[in-house]
Structure 1
Amino acid sequence: MDHFSSNCTNKMTRTHVVVGSRPCCFFCAFEEKDPCLRKTWLELALRDMHMTRDDTELALILSFIWRFAMADPENPELPSLGVFECMTRLMKKGLEDVEWVMTGQNVYVPYYAAHIIGSYTMKKPEFAAKAVESGVIAPFLELMRGNMTWVEQRVVVRALGHLASYERTFEAVAAYEDEVVRLAMEIATTCVDVVYGEFVSVQEREGRVTYHSDLLTRGLGGLEMEDRKAEEWASQLQCWSLHLLNCFAYKQRSISLICNKFFLKELSLMWGGLVNHTSPSSIGLIRILCYTKQGRRHISESKEVILSLCNLSRSSDDWQYMGIDCLLLLLKDQETRYKVLETSLFYLVDLVELKALNDRENLGDRIARVLLMDYNTKKACVYTHKAQKALKELWRNKVERRNRERKLLSEKLTETSVVVNLIKQQATQMLCLGDIEGAIKCYNEAIGLCPLKLRRKRMILYSQRGECYLLLGDVDAAISDCTRALCLSEPVNSHGKSLWTRSRAYDIKGLSRESLMDCIMFVNSRCFRGKIPYYATQMISKQMEATWLFEEARASKIRRMMLKEKNHLTGLSTITEEPGKKKEGMMMQRKKHVPLV
């Protein structure tokens, strides 16, 4: 606050309001102790702010209001004095007056105006209603259409997501439903390529849009920091676009539009990543779609989405439970059950010994019941021989074996446990001698005998058999056994050896995301006292590079460059799209601006 006050020495050159004969800039009004004067001056300052001539001060004021809104988004003072009307006028001016927005630091105005609205509407529906009444949706749509840049799209999509989240303001957004949904789908699909192509891939400071660099790092970071922030912002833009789609899907609106098969294929690849790990990203939208009959039908027909859900269900990702939820919803629906069972069965069967996951009690039993829904009916005959065999094994282990063990005396269970230990020792000796297949046979026998109640012992047996399978190159069997071991661990997904084995197996299969999650969990589950083993750091580094948000965009650009060079060398012409018209305004001229204070 003192910093801003020191800038108010020449008040007559600044935006000011006059009460009697006393001029006052916005910052002085904000510091005023008299509540009546403060209210009057702030209200007048907000009313006349769009007429400000000093572009530097206007940018500073908006930056200050945004910080104030973020620090206390439920404070009613500025919303009650017309902050939404003020920001709406500024956005409209920025969109309509190209010459004005290109002057000095006015280029920052639309970004901060939209960001302020989004900050004030993220918690209170009454503020959202005030924002809608002030007419924010029209300029929001203009910015969402790309009339400026992806930076403004990011804050607009966030704000529209807030407005669409409330009952009181949803219909105001839904009045433009078809366009909003299509734009959100387009942004979610293309934003990573756009941010990479327009910013990250430009490795010379002079080539980057200056005000983008300033907003990303407040003018204090180098190229590396700008790239990291650009990755975070691109991920947020994608996730917030998906959240906006969520708001419509939740109300069962535009389901057929969202479930476009090409979009669903892209959706299966969208991941919030480590830079935005608090957002469920694509899985959040997929789960909402799975709650509707129409959505389940479309999801069940997308092989890419089903495979993505299956891999997620057998991972240590925070959203594992969402993947399981989606598969169970699809399996309970008789219309979609037989489309997804053949694929999902061999993933879910490894999870039937789960006790609890994210407050879902007896999840393993629920999974088993859903898989065995029609086991003893005529409908089971439609399954392949392999599926029928898996279901039969599940029935024996989950139902018949449990019932049989309940009747055994505790003495008998103790005797069985001793036998299991002896077989386990024999397996260890064979493994030391290099007889991996012999060790697997011993583990098979031990697992078949080991009582279901001895969860920790079963966990160790599965984990060691999984390691043997990996040594033999049977990657799928290794993943299956390690998943079963991790379901038996307390808490779930905490057994270090199983996590490391499965991480290596996923690496061999090329499932970088799953491998990365397991390796991070492995490091967190072990007390390395600050010294992470080299092999673990190497794996994490490898998978982080493979799962980098811009990796596909980078690879696509390299492929295009190679194809262009190849065609040039062979003398062939290439068919390229006609260059689109350059957007009017500041972003294409890439005018340099003074960094924002």
Structure 2
Amino acid sequence: MKKKRVPPIPNTCCNTSNQICINPCCFFCSMKEPDASERRAGIVACFREMPDGDTHEHVLVLSGLWHIAMSQPNDPEFPSLGVFKCMASLIHKGISDTHWLLTNQNIYIPYYAAHIIGSYTMNKEEFAQLAVQSGVVPPLVDLLRGKISWVEQRVAVRALGHLASYKSTFESVAYHEQEVVNLALNLASTCLEIVYVDFIAVKENKRVEYHRNLITRGVGDLEMENRKAEEWASQLQCWSLYLLNCFACKDRSLDLICKKVFLKDLCDIWGGFINHTSPGGVGLIRILCYSKVGRKNISELPKVVNTLGNLSRSSDDWQYIGIDCLLLLLKDPDTRYKVLDVAASYLIDLIELTSLGDKSNVGDTIIRVLLSVKPNRQKVGAAMLQEVVDRRNKEKLLSEEKVEETRVLVGLIKQQGNHMFRLGKVEEALLKYSEALGVCPLRFRKERMVIYSSQAQCHILLKNADSAISDSTRALCLSNPANTHGKSLWRRSQAYDMKGMAKESLMDCIMFINSCIKSGDSMRVKIPYHAARMISKHMDATWLFATARLKVEQIQELNHEEQPRDHKIMVETRNRLIHGLSTIIEEPFHAKEADRRKMERARRRFKKGVVARST
């Protein structure tokens, strides 16, 4: 039988320096024991004695176990030998004994212990059952309460999410249902502000040292530290949503999850960029749309419905989720008329969409759902919807000769539109393009795509952003595959930019650049300057911590304004004496380019004032 390979563990046993190990429960000595039965017995003794011991080796043992759990999460050896009970006891000790926690580097132990529990329970239900029987849930809930810091909350919510995902262990987590759900709700909504205030906005030399070491594993500069902290904050948010998903899938605690404030917060919780497998807040919204309570609450919030609509008309990987949610709301007799006008205005642009990823006949499904709603109640898009249905029926009767004649006619009208556009007669060109679409058979998808895209360009020049978004979306539905026509992506990005929709504009611009790369020579790729400038413009606005930074700045500004005027003058005078007249305030390390420019302008104004007073 082939011997199982175990990942190397940091060798810290004292016999490495030619000394005899006197610890009868030394983990490292047990791991090196050649006899399998003695090795297992030694590990069992180590797990049993470790919570009662107090040596500097605990952190090294936990670090080694963490490496094994990460690389071999399905290996049953340590779970069968009592690792879960040991980890639960160590977490409890760290929370209840502050003196122990702050000695030897024990501050790292609760983090590693919760991470080990989460790693071993993420794939195997039998491991999750062992963990629950070993009493891991109460100490994990304690970490979730924030008994130590957000770093431990991150791994605690991850582990609880794994335990709640299995049918056999869900009830053990649900025993603390109301508290766990409320804590997860609060974390999902506020964790970005917490991480920003407690870490990102803190100067390098004042950050919590063990946080920095855990985030970068002791290797990496300030840039890497900030990048990893951003990644961890996103994971904390997404794992909080995953835990809530486990309850929502079972129709549990919907009254808490469906609070209006939280549903609005979900609209601004991203997925995709940092956590590629997480749909973010919209993933939880879709789960809620499968329940009657969820649909009722969502249909009463225009912000949520519009967020779903914007997602359905986007190049986001989760576009189909937006479409699914709108269709679920329209199929429900109790919610369809609350959302019909808004939902139809978005979905009507997607009726010529044939497939989206692995979803087929998407446009036909949309047409069926919209037609199932009574026509006298449908105000938006009814004429276009009926026109498409009628044209499909008529075109089935057209001969091939007639179809080719129509193709020629469409080409002539389009050329007239192009001529008008080159002469600067944008409105006349728009009329010609509309005329061409009116006679162009639906089967000529490429021709219709080009005409819709040309219409979108006209609307952009006429400053009609909504129409530009609508026409470019229709063009992208006709591209093969969907959302790949470069010009339409760029035009919709411009239109979204006109409306101040930074996220949607950024997504389309990135897709546009991808299309440029794919269509050009891979060895000589040239990114269009206007696209690079658009991305630069929106990156700061869509930064994960953008909202948190804005809130902190507003609070700081408010606190500054509330100070007495005499106090402000005294502080400014002291700063000038200490730092010199050329410096008003020290620029924080995380300041962006816009903040830097504002600072420079302030400095220049201050210098001019000093010169004027001296002369």
Q: Secondary structure at the match of 1:266?
A: helix
Deviation of 1:6 (Å): 6.0
User: Which of the numbers 509, 515, 523 marks the counterpart of 2:513?
Assistant: 523
Please list the CA deviations of residues 221-243 of structure 1 after superposition, one character each: whole Å capped at 9, or x if unmatched: 22221111111111111111011
2:383 alignment partner in structure 1: 392
Is 1:5 the counterpart of 2:5? The answer is no
What one-letter code is carried by the residue in structure 2 that aligns with 1:51? D
What one-letter code is carried by the residue in structure 2 that aligns with 1:301? E
Is 1:279 the counterpart of 2:275? The answer is no
Is 1:463 the counterpart of 2:453? The answer is yes
Is 1:99 the counterpart of 2:99? The answer is yes
Deviation of 1:468 (Å): 1.1
Report the Cα distance in structure 1 between the residues aligned to 2:71 and 2:437, rounded to whole angstroms: 56
Please list the CA deviations of residues 104-151 of structure 1 after superposition, one character each: whole Å capped at 9, or x if unmatched: 210000000000000000000000000000001110111111111000
Please list the CA deviations of residues 81-104 of structure 1 after superposition, one character each: whole Å capped at 9, or x if unmatched: 111011011111101110000012
Q: In the superposition, relative to structure 1, how do residues 11 and 404 fare at CA in structure 2: closer, same or farther (>3 Å)?
A: farther
Deviation of 1:32 (Å): 3.2
**Residues 14, 54 of structure 1: 8 Å contact kept:** no
Report the Cα distance in structure 2 between the residues aligned to 1:123 and 1:12, rounded to whole angstroms: 41
Is 1:503 the counterpart of 2:493? The answer is yes
Report the Cα distance in structure 2 between the residues aligned to 1:240 and 1:269, rounded to whole angstroms: 16
Please list the CA deviations of residues 515-550 of structure 1 after superposition, one character each: whole Å capped at 9, or x if unmatched: 111111111122343432222222222222111111
**Residues 13, 21 of structure 2: 8 Å contact kept:** no
What one-letter code is carried by the residue in structure 1 that aligns with 2:475? A
Is 1:542 the counterpart of 2:537? The answer is yes
Deviation of 1:427 (Å): 1.2
1:266 alignment partner in structure 2: 265
Deviation of 1:73 (Å): 0.7
**Residues 100, 106 of structure 1: 8 Å contact kept:** yes
Give the alignment's TM-score, normalised by structure 1: 0.90
Deviation of 1:64 (Å): 1.4
Is 1:324 the counterpart of 2:302? The answer is no
1:62 alignment partner in structure 2: 62
**Residues 15, 45 of structure 1: 8 Å contact kept:** no
Please list the CA deviations of residues 253-298 of structure 1 after superposition, one character each: whole Å capped at 9, or x if unmatched: 1111110111111111111251123201111110010000111001
Deviation of 1:471 (Å): 1.1
What one-letter code is carried by the residue in structure 1 that aligns with 2:71? A
1:17 alignment partner in structure 2: 24
The range that moved more, 46-55 or 228-237, is 46-55
Q: In the superposition, relative to structure 1, how do residues 440 and 64 fare at CA in structure 2: closer, same or farther (>3 Å)?
A: same
Is 1:303 the counterpart of 2:302? The answer is yes
Report the Cα distance in structure 2 between the residues aligned to 1:68 and 1:292, rounded to whole angstroms: 40
Please list the CA deviations of residues 49-95 of structure 1 after superposition, one character each: whole Å capped at 9, or x if unmatched: 2234333x211211111111111111101101111011011111101
What one-letter code is carried by the residue in structure 2 that aligns with 1:49? M
Q: In the superposition, relative to structure 1, how do residues 209 and 411 fare at CA in structure 2: closer, same or farther (>3 Å)?
A: same
1:237 alignment partner in structure 2: 236
What one-letter code is carried by the residue in structure 1 that aligns with 2:75? N
Q: Which has the higher contact order (CA 8 A, sep 6+)?
A: 1
What one-letter code is carried by the residue in structure 1 that aligns with 2:416? Q
Q: Secondary structure at the match of 1:366?
A: helix
1:404 alignment partner in structure 2: 394
Q: Secondary structure at the match of 1:276?
A: coil
2:196 alignment partner in structure 1: 196
What one-letter code is carried by the residue in structure 2 that aligns with 1:31? K
Report the Cα distance in structure 2 between the residues aligned to 1:383 and 1:428, rounded to whole angstroms: 35
Report the Cα distance in structure 2 between the residues aligned to 1:14 and 1:350, rounded to whole angstroms: 74
2:576 alignment partner in structure 1: none
Report the Cα distance in structure 2 between the residues aligned to 1:349 and 1:59, rounded to whole angstroms: 59
1:79 alignment partner in structure 2: 79
Please list the CA deviations of residues 488-537 of structure 1 after superposition, one character each: whole Å capped at 9, or x if unmatched: 11111111111111111111111111111111111112234343222222
What one-letter code is carried by the residue in structure 2 that aligns with 1:141? V
Report the Cα distance in structure 2 between the residues aligned to 1:153 and 1:323, rounded to whole angstroms: 30
Q: Secondary structure at the match of 1:5?
A: coil
**Residues 12, 28 of structure 2: 8 Å contact kept:** no
What one-letter code is carried by the residue in structure 1 that aligns with 2:563? H
What one-letter code is carried by the residue in structure 1 that aligns with 2:322? G
**Residues 350, 483 of structure 1: 8 Å contact kept:** yes
1:584 alignment partner in structure 2: none
Deviation of 1:569 (Å): 5.1
**Residues 9, 64 of structure 2: 8 Å contact kept:** no
Report the Cα distance in structure 1 between the residues aligned to 2:533 and 2:329, rounded to whole angstroms: 38
Is 1:39 the counterpart of 2:34? The answer is no
**Residues 121, 127 of structure 1: 8 Å contact kept:** yes
Report the Cα distance in structure 1 between the residues aligned to 2:18 and 2:247, rounded to whole angstroms: 48
Q: In the superposition, relative to structure 1, how do residues 117 and 67 fare at CA in structure 2: closer, same or farther (>3 Å)?
A: same
**Residues 289, 329 of structure 2: 8 Å contact kept:** yes
**Residues 516, 527 of structure 2: 8 Å contact kept:** no
Q: Which runs of 5+ in 2 are unaligned?
A: 1-6, 569-615
Report the Cα distance in structure 2 between the residues aligned to 1:256 and 1:98, rounded to whole angstroms: 37
2:484 alignment partner in structure 1: 494
Q: In the superposition, relative to structure 1, how do residues 123 and 2 fare at CA in structure 2: closer, same or farther (>3 Å)?
A: closer
Report the Cα distance in structure 2 between the residues aligned to 1:127 and 1:473, rounded to whole angstroms: 60
User: Which of the numbers 467, 474, 495 marks the counterpart of 1:484?
Assistant: 474
Please list the CA deviations of residues 151-174 of structure 1 after superposition, one character each: whole Å capped at 9, or x if unmatched: 000000000000000001001111
Q: In the superposition, relative to structure 1, how do residues 333 and 7 fare at CA in structure 2: closer, same or farther (>3 Å)?
A: same
Deviation of 1:344 (Å): 1.3
Please list the CA deviations of residues 547-575 of structure 1 after superposition, one character each: whole Å capped at 9, or x if unmatched: 111101111111112222222255899xx
**Residues 469, 478 of structure 1: 8 Å contact kept:** yes
The range that moved more, 271-280 or 106-115, is 271-280
**Residues 272, 281 of structure 1: 8 Å contact kept:** yes
Report the Cα distance in structure 1 between the residues aligned to 2:351 and 2:378, rounded to whole angstroms: 20
**Residues 121, 163 of structure 2: 8 Å contact kept:** yes
Deviation of 1:345 (Å): 1.1
Is 1:559 the counterpart of 2:554? The answer is yes
Is 1:30 the counterpart of 2:37? The answer is no
Report the Cα distance in structure 2 between the residues aligned to 1:426 and 1:90, rounded to whole angstroms: 78
Report the Cα distance in structure 2 between the residues aligned to 1:133 and 1:391, rounded to whole angstroms: 59
The range that moved more, 405-414 or 526-535, is 526-535
Q: In the superposition, relative to structure 1, how do residues 29 and 456 fare at CA in structure 2: closer, same or farther (>3 Å)?
A: same
Q: Secondary structure at the match of 2:148?
A: coil
Report the Cα distance in structure 2 between the residues aligned to 1:232 and 1:334, rounded to whole angstroms: 41
The range that moved more, 29-38 or 177-186, is 29-38
2:367 alignment partner in structure 1: 368
Deviation of 1:246 (Å): 0.4
2:176 alignment partner in structure 1: 176
**Residues 13, 29 of structure 2: 8 Å contact kept:** no
Report the Cα distance in structure 2 between the residues aligned to 1:13 and 1:92, rounded to whole angstroms: 32
Report the Cα distance in structure 2 between the residues aligned to 1:178 and 1:559, rounded to whole angstroms: 33
Q: In the superposition, relative to structure 1, how do residues 572 and 266 fare at CA in structure 2: closer, same or farther (>3 Å)?
A: farther
Q: Secondary structure at the match of 1:554?
A: helix
1:585 alignment partner in structure 2: none
2:588 alignment partner in structure 1: none
Report the Cα distance in structure 1 between the residues aligned to 2:21 and 2:343, rounded to whole angstroms: 66
What one-letter code is carried by the residue in structure 2 that aligns with 1:69? A
Deviation of 1:181 (Å): 0.6
Report the Cα distance in structure 2 between the residues aligned to 1:563 and 1:171, rounded to whole angstroms: 46
What one-letter code is carried by the residue in structure 2 that aligns with 1:433? L
**Residues 317, 517 of structure 1: 8 Å contact kept:** yes
Is 1:210 the counterpart of 2:209? The answer is yes
What one-letter code is carried by the residue in structure 1 that aligns with 2:494? R
1:426 alignment partner in structure 2: 416
What one-letter code is carried by the residue in structure 1 that aligns with 2:24? V
2:156 alignment partner in structure 1: 156
State the aligned residue count. 556
Report the Cα distance in structure 1 between the residues aligned to 2:315 and 2:509, rounded to whole angstroms: 9
**Residues 157, 239 of structure 2: 8 Å contact kept:** yes
Report the Cα distance in structure 2 between the residues aligned to 1:87 and 1:344, rounded to whole angstroms: 50
User: Which of the numbers 436, 455, 468 marks the counterpart of 1:446?
Assistant: 436
What one-letter code is carried by the residue in structure 2 that aligns with 1:5? N
